[in-house]
Amino acid sequence: MTGANRAARLAAQISLLLVLLATSCFLMLKTYLGDPEQNFNDGAINQVVAKGPVTVGKVSWQLDSLTVYTRLVNTDGKEIKVDRPAGAVIVVAQLRVTPLDGLRLKDGGFLCSAALRDDRGNQWSTTSAYEFVLPTDCSDDDRPVTRNKASKIAQIFVVPQEAVQHLQGVVVTNRDEYERFMITL
């Protein structure tokens, strides 16, 4: 075999190796970067919105305030029992939620919830707190929601005291469209 044949054969092998490497990288990255369901399941935020309103799944959300409490009281001044471990505080997110045309309202409301998120990627789900001044759900029998009219609700979270300085905002999701929006103050 001559030196020119070896060089040509080596060049062909290197070219084939580069093509195979590029193809495998493309196929691997396409699976993760182009799959909205996988991105959603990994916790990706589609958009960050200051205060709002933002429309997610035929519901408009607007964040009015995030307030930290050590205890909650009802309208009579009695303490509302909230399960919280030692060193934890209660964060109340006051939101304006507007169900839009096309959303199915069942029994005077619909299911809605937000999560609280910090800048370190930690996320907290809502906690039940009965007898709070504002409704804590979008399906309150006593205060039904009306289509195309904003309703004030409160989402209540129990978080560690040291996480308060890192809180960013609330996250609302639409699982059907694989959308996740963070609303900040």
For 112, the 3-state DSSP assignment is coil
Under 8 Å between Cβ of 53 and 60: yes
Can you tell me the mean pLDDT for 106-113? 77
Q: Which of 176, 131, 178, 173 is nearest to 154 (CA)?
A: 131
Q: β-strands 179-184, 47-50: how paired? A: parallel
What CA–CA distance (Å, rounded) separates 51 from 49? 6
> For residue 108, is pLDDT > 70?
no
- Look at the block and give the residue holding tokens 């009579």: 76
Would you place residue 68 in the very low, low, confident or very high pLDDT band (cuts 50, 70, 90)? very high
What CA–CA distance (Å, rounded) separates 74 from 114? 22
> pTM, whole model, 2 decimals?
0.78
**Strands of 54-55's sheet in order across:** 54-55, 59-69, 88-99, 151-160
The structure tokens listed for 41 are 């399941």
Would you place residue 75 in the very low, low, confident or very high pLDDT band (cuts 50, 70, 90)? confident
Q: In this predicted structure, what is the pLDDT of residue 32?
A: 65
Q: In this predicted structure, what is the pLDDT of residue 176?
A: 83
Would you place residue 91 in the very low, low, confident or very high pLDDT band (cuts 50, 70, 90)? very high
